[in-house]
Amino acid sequence: MQPADHELLLRVGHGDKASFAEFYDRYSARIYGLIVRMVGRTPEADDILQESFWQVWQRAAAFDPSRGTPFAWLVLIARSRALDQLRRAARRDRLAACEALDRVTVANATEAGAMRTEAQRRATTALERLPSDQKLAIQLAFYGGLTYAEIAERQGQPLGTVKTRIRLGMQKLRDILSENAVEAA
């Protein structure tokens, strides 16, 4: 006649390896099936099964039969270990997703920086092709951050003249950059 589960756990609590082996043989297949259904991966399920029975070995002496059956206690242990594994996996997945996003962000920033540098080079080259009065007015406005009135005052020119130079210079820049884009294509 087989000993009852309570009796087996009592013996396991006293360090009886044979009782532990019998308890393991009695329930490992059912617990393994539960774990596989929860985590869905055999390698992790093997580890969780081992952890669960290791916990039984370590805590068998603390088992309280008034709180449930030994099998229910074992199911609770295995379920807790499986949930821990799922949480760790979710954290790893989130971390991996964040790292991937960081790599994409850095790559995009690098690409955007390269594109910005190329655009700046093209704009500078186009700016060099403008007449000097238009070039200076545009540089003061866009690179110097000055208003039309401040440029007029600094150059000693009427406000209308400064506005015309900037407007004409911008039109020429647009034409030059359009030509360059057509040539590059």
CATH of the domain at 164: 1.10.10.10
pLDDT of residue 97: 76
Does 159 map to a domain? yes
Q: Which of 71, 76, 85 is nearest to 40 (CA)?
A: 85
Q: Distance between CA atoms of 87 and 91, rounded to whole angstroms?
A: 6
| Total residue length of the chain | 185
| Whether residues 91 and 136 fall in one domain | no
Quick check: pTM over 0.85?
A: no
pLDDT of residue 185: 56
pLDDT of residue 110: 64
| Whether residues 146 and 63 fall in one domain | no
Work out how many domains the chain is built from and give that number. 2
What average pLDDT values come out for the chain (185 residues) when binned by 10 residues?
Answer: 83 92 93 90 87 94 88 92 87 76 64 68 82 87 85 89 90 82 61
Q: Distance between CA atoms of 136 and 105, rounded to whole angstroms?
A: 37
| Whether residues 58 and 133 fall in one domain | no
pLDDT of residue 99: 74
Does 110 map to a domain? no
Q: Distance between CA atoms of 37 and 60, rounded to whole angstroms?
A: 26
pLDDT of residue 4: 87
Q: Distance between CA atoms of 74 and 44, rounded to whole angstroms?
A: 18
Does 120 map to a domain? no
Question: Hey, what are 140's tokens?
Answer: 């003061």
Q: Domain range holding 28? A: 5-96
pLDDT of residue 86: 85
